Amino acid sequence: MTSLTWNPLLDIPPFPVYGYAKLADRIGALLGTRHDVLLVQGEAIIALEAVATSLARPGLQALNVVTSPYGGLFGDWLSRGGAAVSNVIAAPGLPITIATFTAALDAMPGVGVVALVHAESASGILNPLEDIATLAKARGAVVVVDAVASVGGHELNTDALGLDIVVIGAQKSLGGSAGLSALSVSPTAWGLIAQPGGVEQSTLSLLDLKHNWLDRGRLALPGMPSALEFHALAGALDRFEAEGLDNAIARHARAAAATRDGVEALGLPLWVEASGASNLMTGVQIPQSIEINSLLRELAPFDTCIGPGVGLIADRLVRLNHTGNRARLDAVLANVLALGQALQQLGHPTDLGAASAAVLRHYGRPA
Ligand SMILES: *Cc1c(COP(=O)(O)O)cnc(C)c1O
């Protein structure tokens, strides 16, 4: 007789049927919303595709803010579903400006949906969510926000801002696993989704999730939920709630400020000014004389979390990641010093001592 060895990742207890609604309620509290919260059994990009697929149909006019490849994809999914999409494209790697957005809004009198990413991990920018939401709501548009990166690292008051759909994942600022995502849906958004012509009988259908979960009393989820992922989400929320949302946001803000000061003390230009920068990633312009791949090669042995930009800006900046569990002194310091040291190896002088002091000042006792 063979005996199977016990494996903690495989032989896990089932996730209790009444536990899904509790998770949804905890996510609702985190997002500051009383709207419905749906759980999506897949990484956040799947929830985003489900939102676009469920909203899109011929006759819908959508204004889609593009500040990274994520926004580009969202517009493509809306178009695929027959919507008329106007992409409002920011300068590469920069936040959208209110002037650009307003001009696009004025050019689309029948706008039904406005979509944007809150904070971009691709470049480290923060979009002016409050202003955009206010302008979009004044025109009666349903506002869709990709808050996958920002939730937990930035303030995000869903109901106070009137955000209709907010999509999140656990794997960025919340410090959780990537296998599950969630979204809030306002009654107004449900009204749009439920109009004739929407997608049903599909894993990307929000209406299916409503019928098969919300309308059945929020007990068993359809399909075969991965208990491992649900336990992981519960664990991430336990840890996050123990710290507290305000503390977590403050921790991210401190990591961002320390990183920015450290980079400036190295003598390097920041990619964006503080008002347009996220708390999650810091973009740093690389010196003209430095080639991005040589820099990444020098950085590799340090085992830090520094990568190139994504998309059109891929060879013009590096991004220092201080999201989730990386928003802490040792990770911030390692990023800044590794970047300075790597540039020195390539012949570009930097001041590592000044950079250390600049970072540490943010973590010491107040003067
Ligand atoms: C990470 C991220 C996503 C997608 O997350 P996946 O892990 O790829 O599913 C979407 N939008 C933003 C802004 C992100 O940072």
Nearest-CA neighbor of 311 among 15, 69, 40, 19?
Answer: 69
For every residue of 270-296, DSSP letters joined together read BSS-GGGB-SSEEEEEPPTT--HHHHH
Q: Are residues 198 and 214 in the same domain?
A: yes
Question: Which atom in ligand 1 lies closest to the alpha carbon of residue 178?
Answer: 7
Q: How far is CA 29 from CA 33, 138, 250, in A?
A: 6, 26, 18
Residue 14 tokens, joined: 């089932």
Q: What CATH number corresponds to the domain at position 278?
A: 3.90.1150.10
- Widest pairwise Cα distance in the chain: 74
pLDDT at 307: 93
- Between the CA of 144 and the centroid of ligand 1 the distance, in Å, is 15
Q: Determine contact, residues 249/240, Cβ cutoff 8 Å.
A: no
144 Cβ neighbours under 8 A, 6+ residues apart: 51, 55, 74, 113, 114, 115, 116, 163, 164, 165, 166, 167, 189
pLDDT at 332: 98
Distance between CA atoms of residues 141 and 204, nearest Å: 22
Strand-pair category, 113-117 with 142-146: parallel
pLDDT at 112: 98
> 280 is in which domain, residue-wise?
244-363
Domain boundary among 208, 242, 276: 242
Domain boundary among 198, 221, 242: 242
Domain boundary among 182, 212, 242: 242
pLDDT at 1: 61
pLDDT at 314: 85
Distance between CA atoms of residues 72 and 85, nearest Å: 11
Nearest-CA neighbor of 158 among 265, 279, 73, 33?
Answer: 33
Q: Are residues 120 and 267 in the same domain?
A: no
Query: Does the pTM exceed 0.85?
Result: yes
Question: Which atom in ligand 1 lies closest to the alpha carbon of residue 122?
Answer: 15
Ligand 1 pocket residues where CB is under 6 Å: 43-45, 70, 117, 120-121, 146, 148-149, 169, 171-172, 178
User: pLDDT means per 10 residues in the chain (367 residues)?
Assistant: 85 95 98 98 97 97 96 98 97 96 97 98 94 98 98 97 98 94 98 94 96 96 93 97 98 98 97 95 94 96 91 89 97 98 97 98 87
Distance between CA atoms of residues 65 and 42, nearest Å: 24
Torsion, Cα 63 88 68 245, to 10 degrees, reads -60
